[in-house]
Amino acid sequence: MYLGIDLGTSELKLVLLDRQHRLVASVGERLTVQRPAPLHSEQSPADWWDAMARAMARLQAGQAAALAQVRAIGLSGQMHGAVLMDAAGEVLRPAILWNDGRSGAECAELEAACPRLHAIAGNLAMPGFTAPKLLWVRRHEPEVFARTATVLLPKDWLRFMLTGERVGERSDAAGTLWLDVAERRWSAEVLAACGLTEAQMPRLVEGSEASGTLRPELAARWGLPAGVIVAGGGGDNAASAVGIGAVRPGEGFVSLGTSGVIFLTSDRFRPNPASAMHAFCHALPGTWHQMSVMLSAANGLSWVTRLVGAASEGALLEQVACLSPEQRERAPLFLPYLNGERTPHNNPHAQGSFFGLTNEHDAAALGWSVIEGVTFGLLDGWHALGVQPGEVAGLTLVGGGARSGLWAQLLADAIGVPMVTRHGGEAGGALGAARLAWLADGGTLDQVCPAPEIAATFSPDPAETARLAARHARFRALYRAVEGLFPVG
């Protein structure tokens, strides 16, 4: 039995996985975000540990026999967060999260202080990453910065509580900007630009390696055997990829969650920071991944559902499905940048807009425009990945938007590769964490990481791909036309 722990922003989730790939149990505990000032986003690590204790108590109440068979624990978690600890292991301030936007000025400072940043880290400096957060702390909370002995990412702080070890792993560390991503080791050069040293960083392991063992007192409290291994684990998207079997070059997924992600596994480091594409280590040795990220995906569908007063997102999509091809062709174009945009524009000031509204347009037309606009945003991200024809045979579709066959087909047509949905894909990072635990316990990649059974396949229609390409060209021209009109303040 293997225990997967996924520390998200809104929920801490635990799953138990057996060696027949059955999810024996799953429990979740809600988390909240604190926003003490504009652009600030924080959580107390103590709240994570309290949620962990509650979740384990629930598992123990219902699955005591299964917990007694656990051989290893894996970790997945929200990336980029900064947990600052002193020499005694005490947390110095609330964790600054991935969606915190306070460090814009520090990003420019880091780019200037480290001209080789893009070559080393493979990514632009953005407020979401960890390094600019520490520059902000150095400037605004110098007494906290001076006492900082160790900086841990969120899931790695959980590991510290579980094992007493200050250990990180490479897929998550790649999201700090302090990692030499090609060499898979800390960069003394980038750390020095932030006033830090490697001594303040955790020891690094691969996601499928053992990082320590569970503290004996916790094993006794939760009814686990002595000596349970804690695996390196992975950042949330890398762990999700392990969970759906996207572990070999050319395998990947599209996530239609609140935000949108295209994740593609690679056997080498392939950065493209000019297009705000992320290039990170995967959670497996000798493997990397590329990732395009848009900030509003399924969130756009939720927004337009409220806007038109539809009963639900599903009800609106039923109306959209009744549109004729001609009505879809005459629908407005929609720029989906309700929360700014990352890949490929790196423009926090970008905003959403409808273009081409007429009296004939109704709720269904606006619904189509939104899912088409989000799809075109993902297509821009796909192009930023630099994928060659024939390199990718298909992509797995995950996230809330994956429930819509209409949207799945639209994505397949636009991107030009098949989309598949899979049974059990909703387990996400927690399942990947459990699989990484299994690998750390001696399992092989073929044994541990098969792709879950396909639920449905959506193959591209070449005629639709060509039609959408013409609409996409207008979409891109629209962004260029209005880019200079977005308010900056």
Supply the residues annotated as catalytic.
236
List the one residue out of 449, 5, 59, 461 whose CA is nearest residue 214: 5
Question: Residue 324 corresponds to which tokens in the numbers above?
Answer: 């004729």
Provide the total of helices (H) and of strands (E) in the chain, helices listed first: 18, 24
Burial (CB count <10 Å: 0-12, 13-18, 19+), residue 423:
exposed
**β-pairing, 72-77 with 23-30?**
unpaired
Cα dist. 464→117, 329, 404, 409, 467 in Å? 41, 11, 18, 10, 5
The set of residues, in sequence order, having a beta carbon less than 8 Å from that of 73 and lying 6+ positions away, is 2, 3, 4, 5, 162, 214, 228, 229, 230, 231, 437
Report d(CA 173, CA 184) in Å as an integer. 9
**Tokens 């819509």, residue located:** 404
Burial (CB count <10 Å: 0-12, 13-18, 19+), residue 113:
middle
H or E stretch covering 241:
helix 236-243
Helices 363-384 & 298-308, crossing angle to 10 degrees? 170
CB 113 within 8 A of CB 121: no
Q: How many residues does the chain have?
A: 489
**Tokens 């990397």, residue located:** 288
List the one residue out of 428, 429, 409, 427 whose CA is nearest residue 419: 409
Report d(CA 436, CA 207) in Å as an integer. 6
List the one residue out of 240, 284, 283 whose CA is nearest residue 262: 240
CB 211 within 8 A of CB 230: yes
Neighbours of 143 (CB within 10 A): 8
